[in-house]
Chain A
């Protein structure tokens, strides 16, 4: 991944992706392009396949058909086996930041060590440089003063912000958010959204799976509605949320916005 691709290569490309769990097909031929610096939101009911799609992008789910590309490099490589594939995927993943619904901070490490472990062990960064980088990332999410605290002492919102800093420390080309605010108490959602907004302002490329309709509408350049393993509709967020073409999208939004407001 050392050679810089030309700027018109999409950052993430999903081509005709199929995924089955046993007899159940959860992704039925998904196509998606995320261009450099763009923010794409995916909404849809639970079980629609949106999380599976996001997890497929960094190969936490192994797809059965199709191709996924990061900056022009194919992520899934059915032709590669064993250690060769392990090396390949580890390299790819270093360029993708992933943020989980349940944070998954490492409880045995302090906040700063959570952020610097990967740069130190995977990029061979020395402790001092790594700490500087780590503090920079923690400042970015507003938690520099919590550097030497352990995750168990943090609130949910703080944990998720540290998780974002941890992903950012690897200088990823794209950030993947898998329902990053779904496990948070309502009053803690905003602090995480604020961090995500600031990333948007820095033109970070982001792929966001979310239940936060108003946030998705505000922040995204493009929005997708998924249901039953297919992309039902995709367009600008303004159109998707105010005037969707598809009946299924309208029904979902009515139910969802009705519940929330």
Chain B
């Protein structure tokens, strides 16, 4: 077997563009799923069932069905009535999916902040919602960083699934190059390596954040 990496080099700019699109999606999804997950967690812990239960049901739907099915449903299913650009569907689909998982983390960490913290804040004169905002949520967020980091690493890998609805991320970007070069092994090797590097960078970032916040727990 002879390896030929020349086509990979030729099409490397295309692959890099794929990394760019994938990163853009990943950043948008990270923001949406972390902020959204926090909001969902706060609402489902601190509001009445009329508000929190429909939200929990919605989240539960995203946790119990496959990501690929969700993307097909949003893109092709809803596409019968409304055509949303693939990249937007990709961000929304992945965003809701990971919002559900992140909300689960935040629910656990919010509940882990002791009642004493709540009482101390109230005793100073902070109201219920100000206490949640200034005291409970920041502490819960710091405690969530390790698990959030894991989720976000999973999410970055899942951006590859968006190739199924035609989002031009890394895997999708390679498909044309493979179809003209007939070198799938080399391309997938290099792509795997690129994911590996991105992952290492993310793990380093997570470790750094954990170190920076360790003494604040």
Contact = CB atoms under 8 A, between A and B. Distances in A.
A117 B127 CA distance: 13
A97 B142 CA distance: 28
A76 B124 CA distance: 17
Interface string A148-168: 001011000000000100110
Interface string B137-173: 0110010000000000000000000000000000000
A107 interface: yes
B134 A90 contact: no
Nearest to A105: B120
A185 interface: no
A60 B115 CA distance: 11
A170 B124 CA distance: 8
A255 interface: no
Nearest to A96: B123
Contact of A93 (B122, B130, B138, B142): B122
Interface residues of A, number: 29
B139 A107 contact: yes
A118 B216 contact: no
A112 interface: no
B188 interface: no
A246 interface: no
Chain B interface mostly: helix
B209 to A, nearest CB: 14
Contact of A102 (B116, B121, B128): B116
B75 to A, nearest CB: 41
Given A150-B215, A152-B215, A152-B217, A106 B123 contact: no
A91 B116 CA distance: 20
A58 interface: yes
Contacts of A122: 124-126
A205 interface: no
Contacts of A166: 124
B135 interface: yes
B216 A108 contact: yes
Contacts of A87: 127
Nearest to A106: B135
A192 interface: no
A106 B117 contact: yes
A104 interface: yes
Interface string A84-127: 00110011011011101010111110000000011001100000
Nearest to B119: A60
A86 B128 contact: yes
9 contacts: A91-B125, A97-B123, A98-B124, A104-B120, A108-B142, A108-B216, A152-B215, A163-B120, A167-B123
Interface of B: 114, 116-117, 119-128, 130, 134-135, 138-139, 142, 215-217
